[in-house]
Amino acid sequence: MREDGRVLAIRRSDNGRWELPGGVLEIDEAPEEGACREVLEETGIEVEVERLTGVYKNMTRGIVALVFRCKPVGGAERTSDESVAVSWLTAEEVRAAMTEAYAVRILDALVDGGTPHVRIHDGQRLMRAG
C-alpha cells in the first residue's frame, strides 16, 4: 500500500480479472519472501512486508492464500506474462473492479492493526467471515 492509500493490483492475463499479485511459494521460500518475489515478478514493484492481514480459503478449489500488507520500496510498474495491466487502485475502485472474495483481501489489509482475518469463500462470494 502506498502512503496515499492506493493498493497495487493486476489484471490477470489468464482470466482478465483484477486481483492482488500472488502465486505459489517455492519449496525453500518463507511466505514473506514469496510475497515479495511474486509482487516483483508480476508488477515490477519491489515491496517490503509489513504484516500478515488475512488467511483466505477458496472452498471450491481447496486453496489457502496468505495476504500480507506491504509497502513499495522501489521499482516501476510493468506488466508480465501473468498481468496485462498493473495499477494503484483506491478502495472504491477495488470494490467496483473485483469480486467480493478478492476485494475483501485488499479491504482487510487497509485496516490498521488488529489480528489477521480468517475467511472462506467459494471463489466469488464470502461464505463465512472471521
pLDDT in tens, 3-27: 999 999 999 999 999 999 999 999 9
Position 113 scores a pLDDT of: 79
pLDDT in tens, 25-61: 999 999 999 999 999 999 999 999 999 999 999 899 8
Q: What angle do CA 71, 75, 76 make, to 5 degrees?
A: 105
Q: How confident is the model at residue 130 (pLDDT cuts 50, 70, 90)?
A: low
Residue 83's alpha-carbon distances to 98, 108, 130, in angstroms, are 15, 23, 30
| CA pair distance 46, 65, nearest whole angstrom | 20
- CATH class of the domain defined by 7-125: alpha beta
Q: How confident is the model at residue 112 (pLDDT cuts 50, 70, 90)?
A: confident
Delimit the domains of the chain by residue range.
Answer: 7-125
